[in-house]
Amino acid sequence: MDEIDRKLIGLLQEDATRSYASLGKEVGLSGGAAHERVRKLRERGVIRRTTIEVDPAAIGRDVVAYVLVDGSTWMGDAADRLAAIPAVEEAHVIAGPASLLLKVRTAGTRQVQEVLRQVFEVEGVTSTQTVVVLETFFERPSDPQVESRS
């Protein structure tokens, strides 16, 4: 994981269809060497997979909401139960004002209610608090470049 690896990751995040030849040129390596670097990054699991980025609105996901979930004595399969709700894109255990934080994406505010109903069906949930997103400034992948200092 040196500077070159991080650059390769950054470039592939922008466009994973680039040829290894052009990739190599950009980082000052030959095509073959760039290929080998990327192969190892995949092998080590640093690069998990190649995927596409989809416009949420185009597939009927117009509104984003965050749901704070409170509850006690989670059944062991709470994570699975939440994963079974397609609109729930993230689920985190948090330290703070609630137990769980969910990121939810639905076609409209109406459908948020349906999701909340499904969340309440998960064993152990006692209450929820929903934060609706009015506007998203940006959503972007992790920057592979290290932040020096502090």
> Considering the rule CB under 8 A, would residue 72 count as an interface residue with a copy of itself?
no
> Considering the rule CB under 8 A, would residue 114 count as an interface residue with a copy of itself?
yes
Q: What residues from 27 to 66 belong to the interface with DNA (CB under 7 A)?
A: 28-33, 35-37, 39
CA-to-CA dists, residue 56 to 24, 27, 92, 100, 106, angstroms = 33, 33, 21, 24, 9
Which of DNA, a copy of itself, none does residue 148 bind to, with CB < 5 to 8 Å depending on kind?
none
Instruction: Output 36 or 62, the one with its CB closest to DNA.
Output: 36
CA-to-CA dists, residue 123 to 6, 113, 116, 126, angstroms = 42, 18, 13, 9
> Considering the rule CB under 8 A, would residue 136 count as an interface residue with a copy of itself?
yes
Which of a copy of itself, DNA, none does residue 72 bind to, with CB < 5 to 8 Å depending on kind?
none
Q: Evaluate whether 72 touches 124 at the Cβ level (below 8 Å).
A: yes
Give the closest residue to 128 by CA, choosing from 110, 96, 101: 101
Which of DNA, a copy of itself, none does residue 76 bind to, with CB < 5 to 8 Å depending on kind?
none
